[in-house]
Structure 1
């Protein structure tokens, strides 16, 4: 047999080019002639990206709108399957295998020991205190803690990994077989109903890589302060079938890790990253095996998780419907993009050449330590949300918002306000703080959310008001408690309360009660007769509106015209002195005056 030159063979294998001499080309030509009688011209190859762009243009020309996320959770005839790997930086003072500190704000390459940069002869020394936050995280995820776990080497070459391998726990992780339950209030897809449970395959400890800092041109700088920082990798089972549910899972895990003090930096601060594995399969006909999965690396926001899964799902479906084959590969995602991009072929376990690390012994975890951590765990987010709803009467939406904002700082501020209110109410011998909880939650979420950054830099972050993890804020909790106390007692108006809040932020007001006395801002409400006179003025020329109320009164209309009532109340408030009027009192008086006019008593 004639030897095929390596250059010809490489073109055939790697580029799909057939030599014009020899049997391969002859067979290719013969096949075309047998089918058509004439050689078939080569069909132009249109890249998939171009096809998708053309489809998007056609969709725009047709006038059809892009699906909203709520309507884009499923594709008829197809099932999506997603598994997630979450990498979270542990809240520790030291690195995983060296005594260097884990501060990220110090001078680059200032927190580095010999082992961090793989200096020949240096040895890893497991810092056992890093195990505590990792165990708390695993317990929060309902995992079984393994009495014995071991470290392995995962080999790959990259400039951010000086040793040429990463130390992880591939074969024997410290935690396995957990689960997390997501509820409708967590933001799961409507198709998942009231709740869905996602299995946690394992949680493993591993070391982080160095930080790459891009410079002008093709130059890259490396900061080894981050190399060796302790991570946990949380690997879920492929139990997720909707993009919104995947995003909700990552969001809830971040809240869980923060609540047990395992991870204090969220996705927005780079302390948590997610890789998602996506596959699709047809749902019509016989049961189909799971499709080939692709992995999308380093997603850094909840929105990116959902958007990237939708884009990759649609790409795979379009490819399969055109007769193509999904390749197992690693893909990337950019914020604001509409499609994933290929990074490299998918590595398999054999590519990493996993092996037990010969320099590290096993990690033995005692039952007494696990039981102690369980007993000191405190309220987890689901239990705290239930407590907020049952004890304080908050809606699930408000309770979840308090939990999620500012990495727990907002809910701590809310509790601080309630504590200050309890002191205030005790001094005044008034109602319980639970009666003020709804008002306090509304102001902590909405009125505080309208405020700009504090004048002092340490109380502001990125142009927004800063809430410390312990609840400190530029608006002292005691000051807001005083404002809410006087507002609930109807001793000040909502307008005065909002003005006071801004004045406290600017530093113009220190003592709320002294300011109210000095500026004479106390609420002096109109008498009922004065309200009634304003109501009569507001009703002048509104005979048509009165007829709507008459129809309702006579049973000719089922719906009470509440909107028109509030229109009339608005006229009242605009006509009178706003600082002396209470909208609820004005509404009640307006109802009474209309009742008299409708029945002919006025």
Structure 2
């Protein structure tokens, strides 16, 4: 084959220009890059489009996301009955076996084999070195700083770091991998032999042992990422090479997981652990961590594992669990019908109830693994490993124990704080708590009280803001560009002292979020708008309670029956109905719902019920 010139090849890769000669034109490959003049709308993307010269005109364009949503709705309608059974963790008579491969992007400023900067949201194709797009003559240059977060991740997973590791080439062709191969570590990875313990609080399946399970990690290897492909309508694809060459670690487990929920819990805990040791900067929700799962089934009692299939690029914890359940059920149905499970690679889409075939399963021979001739061995000094091991910080399990034991948080809230915003939300919580204690003063037992208040607002009230508008702009140091921790602490301090109501506190939070009170401050805003809470007296609360009770005296019968032992439970619904009428009849801005409930309960038990019983006795 005639050698292609560098100028012609660069025009093909970066601008979409094709020469007039050669096999590319002659064979009319269906994924040719069209000339750049055909698509000027997004000039910073490399665009790939199928050849339409022999096909009839296409129908009107439908946005790609709308296509996905319509497909998901159709699948949901036609598979509703199957979906009801999809939440089962086990199938009688069958055993599920799962192995997981997690790809996590490392927290580094440079790519793995080029000095180009790593980026997430920068202009497409703005951080691309010659080697990233396989320009002829370009050579890989290993960036030593990428090894630091990789070693930290391996140590956090309990792995043994190899003193010497080497890079290999994994051959395959796709438009997001211009070299035709990926550089990885297949034969001699930099870490092996780890383990991760999962407890019940991590969300493992209820069928697991009470003391939890341990998942063995076969190896952790470094490798380069591919470019990012964005699917568009009309079978068009945009390619952004900013991600090409970004440093990854691939975490490979042994096939030891037997329940879908446990697999999802494993991925969730790995993400939390990598964030805790500062090895990764983003999680599944932002594309910085992806999971492939290998699924096989066998009949109970069989010793040999069944044929496995691989489901690629799962991008959420729920997708991990749902995809495993769907593939397990597909394989079981196939075997029960007398069929044979084929080793293949399958895909999963948002909202699906079934996996779909992508291609036949490649093996070692298909990938033609070979040592990379352009890269030397990576030698890790024992002193570096010891230093990194000594500076790992607090692991998630220890921190969760502290949040639950020292601060009185529930396990669910502690886990949520650890997972949100790539681990920054828990640091934000600590910042709010410190500022709140400084404003209120520390007393014995007050820390837990402040902590529960702060955790509730850091999780739930801030979460409501993100449902209505943009993100919270959390920083790794635990502060927010949208709601500074100091201003939230100001609001909570006034709320804790009962100087404002919860309703006013939420309004103030929304004003902070919209940057309406950054100059005046929270306290000055409350003062200028007259939002201070001037609570009713006990006598005024009692008068409102009597007023609310008068037209509803018939409900007292339910409370009398409860006191006489004729009712099974206390009629809380009736009580809260009266409290609601009480709140409607008074000045809401001067009323505390908790106090209103206490007063109404007291009046019911000490006044209304005794009066009703006395009236009934006189009637007799």
1:514 aligns with 2:528: no
User: Contact conserved, 2:472 with 2:483, CA < 8 A, in 1?
Assistant: no
CA 1:443/1:311 → structure 2, altered by over 3 Å: closer, same or farther? same
Match of 1:228 among 245, 248, 253: 245
Give the aligned partner of residue 144 of structure 1: 160
Corresponding residue for 1:51?
Answer: none
Q: Give the alignment's TM-score, normalised by structure 2.
A: 0.80
Deviates further, 583-592 or 377-386: 583-592
Instruction: Give the gaps of 5 or more residues in structure 1.
Output: 1-54, 455-459
- The CA distance in 2 between the partners of 1:329 and 1:65, in whole Å, is 23
After superposition, the CA RMSD in angstroms is: 2.7
- C-alpha separation between the residues in 2 aligned to 1:94 and 1:475? 31
Cα deviation per residue 1:366-422 (whole Å; 9 max; x = unaligned)?
222112112211112222111111111011111111122222232222222112112
**Aligned residue for 2:450?**
436
Pairing of 1:129-208 with structure 2 (within 5 A): 129-194=145-210, 195-208=212-225
Deviation (angstroms), 1:117: 3.4
TM-score between the two structures when normalised by the length of structure 1: 0.82
> Are 1:354 and 2:408 counterparts?
no
- Say if 2:486 is the partner of 1:478: yes
Q: 1-side partners of 2:118 and 2:112: how far apart? A: 10
Residues of 2 paired with 1:220 and 1:476: CA distance?
40
The residue correspondences of 1:371-410 to structure 2 (distance < 5 A) are 371-410=386-425
User: Kindly tell me: are residues 57 and 288 of structure 1, through their superposed partners in 2, closer, same or farther at Cα, counting changes over 3 Å?
Assistant: farther
**Which of 559, 565, 573 in structure 1 is aligned with 2:583?**
573
Candidates 276, 284, 302, aligned match of 1:287:
302
- Aligned mates of 2:547, 2:124 — CA distance in 1: 72
Q: CA deviation at 1:233?
A: 0.5
The answer to whether 1:594 aligns with 2:608 is no
The answer as to whether partners of 1:148 and 1:363 remain within 8 angstroms in 2 is: yes
- Quickly say closer, same or farther: Cα 1:56–1:291, change in 2 above 3 A: farther
Q: Distance in 2 between matches of 1:129 and 1:288?
A: 45
Tell me if structure 1 keeps the 8 A contact 2:76–2:351: no
Contact kept? 2:472, 2:480, Cα under 8 Å: no
User: Which has the larger displacement, 395-404 or 510-519?
Assistant: 510-519
Aligned residue for 2:406, secondary structure, equals helix
Task: Name the residue aligned to 2:317.
Answer: 302
For structure 2, the 5+ residue unaligned runs are: 1-74, 616-620
Tell me how many residue pairs correspond in the alignment. 534
Cα distance in 2 for residues equivalent to 1:524 and 1:345: 72
Distance 1:415 1:59, change over 3 A: closer
The one-character-per-residue Cα deviations of 1:486-539 (angstroms, maximum 9, x if unpaired) are 111112211221222222223333322222333332222222222222222222
Match of 2:462 in 1: 448
Matched, 1:272 2:289: yes
Per mean C-alpha deviation after superposition, the further-off stretch among 588-597 and 343-352 is: 588-597
SS in 2 for 1:343: strand
Aligned to 1:43: none
Distance 2:357 2:371 in 1: 31
Structure 1 distance, partners of 2:594, 2:179, is: 70
Aligned-partner Cα distance in 1 for 2:343–2:99: 14
| Shift, 1:358, TM fit | 3.0
SS of residue matched to 2:142: coil
Partners of 2:311 and 2:347 within 8 A in 1: yes
Corresponding residue for residue 534 of structure 2: 524
Q: 2: CA distance between counterparts of 1:239 and 1:412? A: 34
Q: Which residues in structure 2 correspond to 1:539-550 (within 5 Å)?
A: 539-550=549-560
Q: Specify which of 492, 495, 502 is matched with residue 494 of structure 1.
A: 502
Measured at CA, do residues 190 and 148 of structure 1 come closer, stay the same or move farther in structure 2, by a change above 3 Å? same
Question: Is 1:76 aligned to residue 92 of structure 2?
Answer: yes
**Are 1:282 and 1:288, in contact at CA under 8 Å, matched by a contact in 2?**
no
In 2, Cα distance between equivalents of 1:56 and 1:207: 37
Aligned-pair CA distance for 1:321: 0.6
Q: Between Structure 1 and Structure 2, whose CA radius of gyration is higher?
A: 1
3-state secondary structure, aligned to 2:298: strand
Aligned equivalents of 1:486, 1:128: Cα separation in 2: 51
Partner of 1:318: 333
Distance (whole Å) between structure 2 residues aligned to residue 57 and residue 93 of structure 1: 46
